[in-house]
Structure 1
Amino acid sequence: MTFDRLQRMVADFTTDRAWENFHTPKNLVMALTGEVGELSELFQWLTAEQSQVIMETPSQRARVEDEVADILIYLLRLADVLEIDLGDVVEAKVQKNADRYPVSKVYGRAVKYTEIDSE
């Protein structure tokens, strides 16, 4: 399924309920932030090891999947309201990050681009 199709589905869901007036950029960002918080809560007190196997428990998997879906729904709606082409901006950002984090300098290292030694 494409971003465009998902955005249309979410927009139709919104229109069918006459919720457009509530979906301002501010409200959508706040809702998105809340959903990220709910996802964070599922991982909050887990060890690194526990967080890597959370999806093995069906009830936990369902909770994580619901929160991830909520996050994507709000992000899709925000992009739609702001007229952002998600495919284009993701492609551009990945290229920007590729330039900022060249494989030859960061392979296997978690460093911020400002910490990369310049040649």
Structure 2
Amino acid sequence: MTHGNHDMVSSSDVNGTEVYSEAGEHVGTIDHLMIDKQSGKVAWAVMGFGGFLGLGEAHYPIPWTKLTYERSRGGFVTDISREQLEAAPSRPERWTEDRAWEEQAHLHYGAPFYWI
């Protein structure tokens, strides 16, 4: 939704938004966002990928900075490939508390660290 000169969106509107590759291939769907409590920045978009009708779907946190919203597609576009998703560093159970894993993941995707 647009307010004046700023593009704003509710987090609830982001959930369920489609994600496409730069070539237009459907990659996945945004399940939810992770927001850094200290800075207020959106740090991660957790994307559902694979499966059928939500069954067997894997969830991958991807750096928010790797997504660009394209109005013409009605969804986000990323340069992250399916192969990169599948080769992502193994996520520990408490991944949101593991800065070493976050660093690995950002380096894997070629994304800047959100905490700097």
State the TM-score bracket (shorter-chain normalisation): under 0.3
Higher relative contact order, chain-length normalized (CA < 8 Å, sep 6+): 1
Structure of larger gyration radius: 1
The TM-score, its normalising length taken from structure 2, stands at: 0.20
Which is strand-richer, 1 or 2?
A: 2
The TM-score, its normalising length taken from structure 1, stands at: 0.20
